[in-house]
Amino acid sequence: MTQAYRKKREAFIAAVPKAELHLHIEGSLEPQMMFALANRNGVQLPYDSVEAISAAYQFANLQEFLDLYYLGMQVLIEEQDFYDLTIAYLDRVHRDNVRHAEIFFDPQGHTERGIPFGRVISGILRALDDGQQRFGISSKLIMCFLRHLSEESAFATLAEAEPWLERIAGVGLDSSEVGHPPEKFARVFAKCRDRGLRLVAHAGEEGPPDYVWQALDTLRIDRIDHGNRALEDKALIKRIVDDGYTLTLCPLSNLKLCVINDIAKSPVKTMLDQGVKATVNSDDPSYFGGYINDNYHAVANALDLTIEEIATLAVNSFEGSFLDADEVAERRAEIDQLVKQSAGY
Ligand code: HPA
Ligand code: ZN
């Protein structure tokens, strides 16, 4: 791959419209904002500077990250804090040409420490509405259940969400994966499906391929978050390809959480080659060292991706989204046009 091609690919990544489908809004809390909100709200943090926060971000596994993620979100207290957090993310990814974002939030991470559900969601929604106005970014909100908590707690969270269901596109499943299989949430996911919600779940990040099977067959999800370990099971990959499931891969997250030991081991290219609808996302950008375009650049360089492969990832991000078909078609046409321009037609 020539230097000229690499430059062209870099420009293409920057310019191509994309959707982000795997983003925990609490994971976009930058150390500066964490420090500022701790001061604003009188919350005591075990760090004495922004640099100390950043220096703490070294993780050997998912749980080590989650411990700091739950610690960090304790600075989020007021409705305005949730607004500030969300608008900062949209402002940032607007510069990465994100046109659509499907954003996770973890209500139990807040309600468990006494912050009312309505305060959390109204701050986030107000920012999503402003983000559409200011940056032209469309969005959908996905409420995640924390899988280390009980089924009962998930049902209670769904009950609290009832007045807001018009504004919630779907539900997801996150937090500590191993030991908390998808089937633990079979009944609550069935209820969510009955309520007309879309369904996604983290599966196969650290957990075995069997957890991905459960997410598909027991929870009957629409889209798989991570799904890396599906590659260990040929029959599972066949199922994913045949049924056209989208996987929301997060390369820098995988590296930072030691799911892979080298960015060149990211499954992005292998999955594309096998016909999986892979997408590239940032997961928790503040903790993992990069926003969405940083993730695209990292895999493009490490895996020598072509401009056409980058375009496929961007198209997959819209096709795997919960947007209407006509909007998806518009974005697809825009991407096709950019590919042609880049090829010099
Ligand atoms: N995995 C599981 N739970 C999470 C993650 C993740 O990558 N990020 C935030 N909560
Ligand atoms: Zn995630």
What atom of ligand 1 comes closest to residue 284's alpha carbon? 8
pLDDT of residue 343: 87
Mutate to test the pocket of ligand 1, among 205, 211, 228 (most ligand atoms within 8 A of CB): 205
Q: Quick count: other Cβ atoms within 10 Å of Cβ 178?
A: 14
pLDDT digits (tens, 9 = 90+) for 16-42: 999 999 999 999 999 999 999 999 999
pLDDT of residue 345: 61
Give the mean pLDDT of 51-61.
Answer: 97
Percent of the chain with pLDDT over 70: 100
User: Distance between alpha carbon 280 and the CA centroid of its chain, in Å?
Assistant: 9
How many angstroms does the Cα of residue 129 sit away from the middle of ligand 2? 23
Give the mean pLDDT of 224-241.
Answer: 98
End-to-end Cα separation, the chain, in angstroms: 21
**How big is the chain, counted in residues?**
345
Give the mean pLDDT of 263-289.
Answer: 98
The whole-model pTM stands at 0.98
Averaged pLDDT of the chain = 98
How many angstroms does the Cα of residue 226 sit away from the middle of ligand 2? 7
Distance CA 342, CA 18 (A): 17
Distance CA 109, CA 70 (A): 7
